[in-house]
A and B are shown apart, each in its own frame.
Chain A
Amino acid sequence: MSASSILRMGLVGALMSAFAVPALAADPEPQYGGEMIYAITAETFSLFPGRQNGSQAQDTWLYALEGLVEITEENEIIPWLAKSWSFSDDGLKATFKLQEGVKFHDGTPFNAEAVAFVFNEALAKDFTYSNLLEGLQKVTVDDEFTATFHFEEPFAALLPNLAYRPMSIFSPTAYKEHGEEWMATNLVGTGPFIFEELVRGEYVQFRKNPDYWQEGKPYLDSVKIIIVPDVSARSAMLEAGEVDRTTSLNDFDVPRLTDDPNINLRVVNSTRQFYVVLNHTRYPFGNVNVRKAFNYAIDKEGIVASVFAGTGAVLSQAPTLSPGVVGFTDLRAEGEKTIFPYNIEKAKKLLKNAGFQDRDGNGVVEDPRGNELSIGLFGRKGATKGDDKVAELLQSMLGDIGVKVEIQFMENSAFGAAVKLSPEDAQYDMALLSWGIPTADADEPMMLMMYTPAWKPNGANRSFYSSEEVDRLTVLAHHEVDPVKRNEYIRLWMDELMTDAPVIFLPTLAFNLGTRSYLHGDRILSIDQYPARFAWIDKQEKEKQGINR
C-alpha cells in the first residue's frame, strides 16, 4: 500500500472514531413504563420459599422477595436488605445492620424482629434450606435494625448461603396471620414488584411497588411470567415478539437466534456439572484404577459438540467446582482442555492394571476369572437438558474400552426414589446426575456430596465414597473464616478428588437467555437465575420492531 493511501485511511479512521466515541460513551438512559412478559419452562411450584427450592420457583420469587445479601454475576456477595455486617472475634456471631425505611407489601415494617422470626422459624420448622444453616443456634434482635446470628462453630460460608434465594425475608405478619398454606399462593415480601395474581400453570402477575426502598426503581410498570412448557413454542413466541424474554432455548437454535437482529442471546456458564455416581459398595468401583479408567475413557469434547451443539456446555476445569465458585482453582494439567482428558490408551492401561483385559477377543474385558465386566447405569430423560443423550454416549464410550453398559431409563420420580437409598438398599452401579451449586460456594458440595456423614439417606453422597482426608479438609474449610487458608483447604480437597476419582466428572452446563433487543438491564447468573427486576424497555425500539403490546 502506498504511503498516501495509508495516510488517507488513517485520517478516515481518526474521523470515524471521533464521531463514534461520543455515541459509545453515553449508555442509554433507562425509560420508565411498560410490561415485561417473560416465558419460563413449566414447573409446579409454590410461592412459599420455606418448603421448595426449584430454580424456576426462585426465578419467580425474586421479583417480590429479597434477602439480606445478593449475589452478582461475578459471584460476589453484596449488601442488600443488610447494609453491613461484622463478625465477632471468635467467629461465633455475625451481626447484621439492616436497611431502614423498608416496608413489606402488606405495610408492616421490615426490621430485625422480622429477620429473626424468619430464621428462627426456619430452624424450628425444618424449612427446606435449613441444612445450609448448619450450626446456626438462633438469631437475636439487638435493636430495631440490628440482628445477630449465633453459631456453635465458625461458619465460613454464611454469606453465600444467605444469598440463596429461598432465604428471602417474607412478612412474618402475613405468615402468622394466614399460615404456611396461604403463603404457598401468596408472596408478601419487600421486593420492587408486588404479587398480584397466580393462575396455576399459566402465569404469575406482578405490578410495580410504588414504595420500593431503592429510589427511582423499578422501571417497569408490571411483570408477567408465563409458563410455556414446549421449547419450540418458547422460541416461536420470542421470534414472533409475543414475549420479551425466555430461557432454556434449544442449544441447536442458538446460532439461528444469535443471527436475528431483533434478539439478544446470552449464554452463561453455570455451576451445574454433570457427573456419574459410581457406587463404591459395588464391584468393581472399590478399585481406584477402574474409576480413573472410566474418567479417561470419556470424550468430553465429543459430548459438548454432539449433545450441546458446542455452546450448551463447557469442559470442566476442576472436579465439581466451576470458575466463579468460591474456592475454585483450575486443576487442568498443563496444555489440557479439561480434567481427566480423553485418552483411550491410558484408560485401557488402567483397566489392565486393575486386572481387566479382553482375553477372548470379543470386545468386552474380563476379570482374571473370566467374568465379563458388565455394569448398569440409571438414567432419566428430560430432568436436565441432554441427560438421556449423555447416558447413551457414556454407554458407547465405555464400550470402546471394553465395558458393557446397560442403561435403565426411569421416569423422574422413580429415578429420585431409586437414588435416595442407603448403601444397603441402593440398586445402582452407576447413575447419571448433575450437581448445581446454588450458593456458588464450595461449602455446599463439600458438605453434601463427598463427605462421609452425607452418605444417603442423610446428605447427597450417593457414591458412598469415604476418605478420611476429604472429611478432614471438609470440616476445616467449613469453619475457616480466613479466605486464604480456606481456599488452600478447598484446593487440597480438589486434589484428593483428582487422586481418588470417586465419580466420573463430565462437562459443565451453559444456560442461555434470549431477549428482544429493546429490553435492557436484565441479568443472567451462573446459578440458573435470571433477575430482571430492574430491566427497562426502549419504547421507540419496541415500536420499530412492530410490537404493539
Chain B
Amino acid sequence: MPLFGGHARDTVLLRLVVSRLLFIIPAGLLLITFLFALFHIIPGDPALLLAGDNAPAHIVEAIREAYGFNKPLPVQYMTYMLNVLQGDLGVSNFSRDPVVSLIIPRILNTALLAFWAMMFAMVVSLSFGCVSAMYWNTGVDKAITVVSLIGICTPIFVSGLLGIFFFSVKLGVLPTGGFNSWQSLILPVITLGAVEAALLTRMVRSTMINALNQDYITTARAKGVAELVVVFKHALRNALLPIITLFGLGFGNTLGGSVVIETIFTWPGLGRLMIESILTRDLPVTQGALLFFAMTFIVVNLIVDVLYAYVDPRISYD
C-alpha cells in the first residue's frame, strides 16, 4: 500500500532517502579534512599536555616520537583517511583507547537523552501550545505564557543544579547523576526538555493562532463541527508543517544543550567527550565525535523532510 499517497511518490521519496544517506560519506570526509587542517593550525600540542607544564623539550619530543605526532602531516593525514575508509577511527591521543569503542556507548547515551527530552518537549509544547491558542488572551493563556518565559530565561545549569539540590540532596528520591537506572533519566530529561518545551510552546501557540484564524476554520465551526475536532483535526493538521520544522531545529538545540546537562549530571554522553577532546587537542576523538554528530543531523533532517511529505500530500521532491 503506498505510504505517501501514490506509488510514484513512494519511489521519489525512496530515492531521496537513499541519496541523503549516501551524502553522509562525502560530507564526513570533508569534515574530517577540515578538522585535521584546523587542529594543526591552532596553537596547542597534545604531547605538551601529556608531559605537563614543566617538562623539558626532549621529554615532549619523546612522547611525540612514541605516539607518532612527529610524522610529516601529509603522512599522518593519508594514514588516518585510509584507516577511516576501513572503519578504523584511530586511537585517542591520551588514553590510547580505540576511538570507536569510546564513542559508540556514549552516542547511544546522548541520543537517549536527546530523544526523551524532545519527546517531553513535544508533548508539553503541543498540549500547552494548543490550549494557549484555544484560550487566546484569557487567564489560562497568560499563565502559560509566563511559565514559558520563565523556562526560556532560566539557564540550564541553574535549573539543573536546583533540581539536583532539591530532589537528590534534600528529598533523596532521585540520583544526583550518572546513568545507573531509569530514575537517572528523570532529572536530566526534564531539565533539558523544559527549555525546549518552553521555547516550542510559544511557537506552537503562535502557529496555532494563525491556523485558527483561517477561513476554513470559520466554515467548519459554522457547519457545527465540535470545537476539539476543529482544533485537533483541522487546525493542527495544517499547522503541522511549520511545527515539524521547529521540532527538527529543536532537536539540534537539544543535542547542543546536552553538553551542559552531561557535565552537571555526569551523564556519560558524547557532548562532554567532544568538549574534553577539543580542550586536550585529542584530534582522533574530536573527529570521531563530530563525525557522529554530523551524521545525526543529516539523519534528523532526512526524517523531517520525509515527515513533510507524509503530512502534506502537496509537497513534491521531484
Known: A184-B96, A226-B178. A233 touches B264 (CB 8 A): yes
CB–CB A239/B95 < 8 A: no
Contacts of A346 in B (CB 8 A): none
Of residues 77 to 93 in B, which have CB atoms within 8 Å of A's CB atoms?
91-92
Partner of B54 from A45, A130, A460 at Cβ < 8 Å: A460
Contacts of B67 in A (CB 8 A): 51
Nearest to A129 among chain B residues (CB) is B59
CB–CB B56/A459 < 8 A: yes
Contact string, A445-486, partner B, CB cutoff 8 A, digits 1/0? 000110000100111100000000000000000000000000
Partner of A233 from B57, B66, B164, B280 at Cβ < 8 Å: B164
CB–CB B169/A240 < 8 A: yes
CB–CB B92/A44 < 8 A: yes
Partner of A239 from B45, B59, B169 at Cβ < 8 Å: B169
Partner of A236 from B43, B94, B168 at Cβ < 8 Å: B168
Indicate if A420 sits at the interface (CB-CB under 8 A).
yes
A543 to B171, CA, bound (A): 18
Partner of B59 from A45, A128, A417, A449 at Cβ < 8 Å: A128
CB–CB B62/A202 < 8 A: no
CB–CB B52/A54 < 8 A: yes
Partner of B95 from A42, A45, A448, A449 at Cβ < 8 Å: A45
B177–chain A nearest beta-carbon distance, Å: 5
A325 to B134, CA, bound (A): 74
Contacts of B102 in A (CB 8 A): 200-201
B231–chain A nearest beta-carbon distance, Å: 43
A46 to B282, CA, bound (A): 13
Known: A131-B56, A230-B264, A233-B266. A184 touches B95 (CB 8 A): yes
Indicate if A185 sits at the interface (CB-CB under 8 A).
yes
Indicate if B248 sits at the interface (CB-CB under 8 A).
no
Partner of B45 from A128, A202, A237, A417 at Cβ < 8 Å: A417
For the complex, count residues of A whose C-beta is within 8 A of B: 52
Nearest to B282 among chain A residues (CB) is A44
Indicate if A418 sits at the interface (CB-CB under 8 A).
yes
Indicate if B28 sits at the interface (CB-CB under 8 A).
no
Contact string, A197-240, partner B, CB cutoff 8 A, digits 1/0? 00111100000000000000000000000111110110011011
CB–CB B57/A458 < 8 A: yes
Indicate if A74 sits at the interface (CB-CB under 8 A).
no
- Which of A8-16, A168-176, A407-415 lies at the interface? A407-415
B140–chain A nearest beta-carbon distance, Å: 36
Contacts of B273 in A (CB 8 A): 201
Indicate if A84 sits at the interface (CB-CB under 8 A).
no
Contact string, B154-167, partner A, CB cutoff 8 A, digits 1/0? 00000001001100
B315–chain A nearest beta-carbon distance, Å: 43
A411 to B103, CA, bound (A): 25
Which of B49, B176, B268 is the most central at the interface, judged by chain A CB atoms within 10 Å of its CB? B176
A181 to B96, CA, bound (A): 6
Of residues 254 to 282 in B, which have CB atoms within 8 Å of A's CB atoms?
263-266, 268, 272-273, 276-277, 279-282
Indicate if B44 sits at the interface (CB-CB under 8 A).
yes
For the complex, count residues of B whose C-beta is within 8 A of A: 53
Known: A125-B62, A236-B176, A413-B280. A200 touches B95 (CB 8 A): yes
CB–CB B266/A414 < 8 A: no
Nearest to A420 among chain B residues (CB) is B48
Contacts of B63 in A (CB 8 A): 51, 128
A433 to B52, CA, bound (A): 13
CB–CB B55/A44 < 8 A: no
A227 to B96, CA, bound (A): 18
Indicate if B252 sits at the interface (CB-CB under 8 A).
no
A327–chain B nearest beta-carbon distance, Å: 18
Nearest to A243 among chain B residues (CB) is B176
CB–CB A53/B52 < 8 A: yes
A173 to B158, CA, bound (A): 51
Which of A226, A233, A414, A459 is the most central at the interface, judged by chain B CB atoms within 10 Å of its CB? A233
CB–CB B45/A200 < 8 A: no
Of residues 77 to 93 in A, which have CB atoms within 8 Å of B's CB atoms?
none
Contacts of B268 in A (CB 8 A): 199, 201-202
Nearest to A180 among chain B residues (CB) is B66
A166–chain B nearest beta-carbon distance, Å: 10
Contacts of A237 in B (CB 8 A): 176-177
A423 to B178, CA, bound (A): 47
Nearest to A422 among chain B residues (CB) is B57
Nearest to B54 among chain A residues (CB) is A460
CB–CB A411/B52 < 8 A: no
CB–CB B45/A413 < 8 A: yes
B66–chain A nearest beta-carbon distance, Å: 7
Indicate if B172 sits at the interface (CB-CB under 8 A).
yes
A426–chain B nearest beta-carbon distance, Å: 13
Indicate if A242 sits at the interface (CB-CB under 8 A).
yes
Partner of A185 from B42, B59, B95, B175 at Cβ < 8 Å: B95
CB–CB B56/A233 < 8 A: no
Indicate if B50 sits at the interface (CB-CB under 8 A).
yes
B47–chain A nearest beta-carbon distance, Å: 9
A449 to B273, CA, bound (A): 34
Known: A200-B97, A460-B53. A229 touches B48 (CB 8 A): no
Contacts of B62 in A (CB 8 A): 125-128, 130
Which of B91, B95, B276 is the most central at the interface, judged by chain A CB atoms within 10 Å of its CB? B95
CB–CB B59/A240 < 8 A: no
Indicate if A52 sits at the interface (CB-CB under 8 A).
yes
Of residues 130 to 166 in B, which have CB atoms within 8 Å of A's CB atoms?
161, 164-165
Indicate if A302 sits at the interface (CB-CB under 8 A).
no
Indicate if A363 sits at the interface (CB-CB under 8 A).
no
Knowing that A232-B264, A412-B279, A459-B54 are A-B contacts, what are 8 other residue pairs whose CB atoms are under 8 Å apart, sorted by A's residue number? A44-B276, A126-B59, A130-B59, A228-B177, A240-B169, A242-B177, A417-B44, A417-B45
Residue pairs across A and B with Cβ atoms less than 8 A apart, 11 shown, are: A44-B277, A51-B50, A52-B50, A126-B62, A128-B51, A130-B59, A230-B263, A240-B172, A414-B42, A417-B45, A460-B54
Q: Which residues of B contact A (CB under 8 A)?
A: 42-45, 48-59, 61-63, 66-67, 91-92, 94-97, 102, 105-106, 161, 164-165, 168-169, 172, 175-178, 263-266, 268, 272-273, 276-277, 279-282
Q: Which residues of A contact B (CB under 8 A)?
A: 42, 44-46, 51-54, 125-128, 130-131, 180-181, 184-185, 199-202, 226-230, 232-233, 236-237, 239-240, 242, 411-414, 416-420, 433, 435, 448-449, 454, 457-460
